Amino acid sequence: MTPLERLKAGLERSKENGCEDTSTANQSQQDYEQRADEADRQLREKQARELKKFWS
């Protein structure tokens, strides 16, 4: 189970247990997704640079 899947499962359990204040959990999920998106972008840029260098 990935960290994001564990986070989502925890959010669902919180909702099932009647926990109304999930703002911190929601913010954590947004932060995680932003970091994942940034890491993906950096990886794509690195791969593009390496391909450009390889074919040059």
15-55 pLDDT tens trace: 777 666 667 777 888 888 899 999 999 999 999 999 999 99
For the record, the structure tokens of 2 come out as 């990935």
Give the domain extent around 30: 3-55
The amino acid at 4: L
Q: What angle do CA 15, 37, 16 make, to 5 degrees?
A: 5
Q: What total number of domains does the chain contain? A: 1
3-class DSSP state of 55: helix
**pTM for this prediction:** 0.57
Question: Which comes out higher in pLDDT, residue 32 or 11?
Answer: 32
